Structure 1
Amino acid sequence: MDMKKTREEALLLLEEYNETPALRRHAFAVEAVMRYFAEKRGEDPDYWALVGLLHDLDYEKYPAEHCIKTREILEKKGYEESFIRAIESHGYGICTEVEPLLPMEKVLYTIDELTGLIYATVLMRPDRSISNLELKSVKKKFKTASFAQGVNREVISSGAKMLSMELDEVITETIEGMRRAKDQLELN
């Protein structure tokens, strides 16, 4: 399979179903972090990145059917079952009962919400840059329930446990993954 062509197709699909710049940026953040984790784990970074890119494909147009519509859309486009299942698993306990079992699924489940928290943390900084963001800044915001209230901290914590990683390590690695896409995320 030509991954470059596949990413181009995925981008077109993302743009077709997501017009909101914030949702597209979130997709790019998750894509970058998934690529980073895949590289660290010796997995296929292009495949993991595409899962991250399309993980919220249906969210803007079908929020009440999140993950359900994604399955329908991706099946029609010929995406393989393991790809679709990985995307479904990020909604485990929220909008699906598809439990994250594979490493890729566990990473996606964990970092989806976390990228949102990190992004919001960076936007609060005077320089709006992720380049010098430190773990302690994100941890402080993580502990402040009134900050980024839509971020499900329990999902992040339980995801870290699924990955057998300390929360600090997951946050640090997610920041590093997002730094790689700082220009695309407008966090420079």
Structure 2
Amino acid sequence: MDRETAYSIVQKYITSNHLINHMLAVEAAMRFYALKLQQDVETWGMTGLLHDFDWEKYPTPEQHATAGAPILREQGVPEEIIQAILSHADYSGVPRNTPLAKALFACDELTGLVTAVALVRPSRSLYDLTSSSVKKKWKDRAFAAGANREEIAAAAADFGVDLWQHTDNVIIALRSIAPQLGLEGNLRPNGLPAAF
């Protein structure tokens, strides 16, 4: 299984650009942590990329992840990846007992919150975003109400990383694909306005 094959699975099952961007964001965060923790970058990246591939077809707690697992097996996805994907859904009953599974759970919800914060900034960019901006929005429960703050904090703790360091790490990871996510805004990678 390679990244191109994994991405073809995503394209086959997902039509929403928003959801594809979420999966790309989680992939970037997972690749960041694989490098940081000296893990297999391709395995970790594909886990992030594929984790919600079945969401449009199976969006209910009874189905999401569990109904998708057989499809992934048919496609030749390694069991290590499938188990991590199953474990990111609390209701699957699959424990998060590997660094891969813990990383996926820690990165999933947080990437959505980070993206939401970037979108409401004047720059609409990841390049000037910091964890302090996310922290300010964290307290506003009406903002990105779907992002479960308690789950995000617990996932970071279980992964063994400080929440705000984790947030900075995810921001750094997402900057690497900011153009793909449409989150360059009016800045260039070094933080200068595009007019410079």
Q: What TM-score comes out, normalization by structure 1 length?
A: 0.93
Partners of 2:93 and 2:151 lie apart in 1 by: 14
Q: Which residue of 2 aligns with 1:57?
A: 53
Query: What pairs up with 1:102-113 in 2 under 5 angstroms?
Result: 102-113=98-109
Give structure 2 stretches of 5+ with no counterpart: 185-196
Deviations 1:55-85 (A, max 9, x none): 0011111101111122011011122211100
Partners of 1:125 and 1:17 lie apart in 2 by: 32
Q: Percent identity?
A: 41
Q: Which residue of 2 aligns with 1:37?
A: 33
How many residue pairs match? The answer is 182
1:69 aligns with 2:67: yes
Deviations 1:137-165 (A, max 9, x none): 10111221111111111211111111222
3-state SS in 2 of match to 1:32: helix
Q: Which residue of 1 aligns with 2:76?
A: 78
1:27 aligns with 2:23: yes
3-state SS in 2 of match to 1:184: helix
Give structure 1 stretches of 5+ with no counterpart: none
Moved over 2 A (4+): none
Q: Which residue of 1 aligns with 2:188?
A: none
Q: What TM-score comes out, normalization by structure 2 length?
A: 0.90
Residues 17, 57 of structure 1: 8 Å contact kept: yes
Partners of 1:31 and 1:137 lie apart in 2 by: 23
Partners of 2:78 and 2:107 lie apart in 1 by: 22
Residues 107, 163 of structure 1: 8 Å contact kept: yes
3-state SS in 2 of match to 1:165: coil
Could you tell me how far 1:27 is from its partner in structure 2?
0.6
Larger radius of gyration: 2
Alignment equivalent of 1:163, drawn from 134, 159, 162:
159
3-state SS in 2 of match to 1:150: coil
Partners of 1:100 and 1:52 lie apart in 2 by: 15
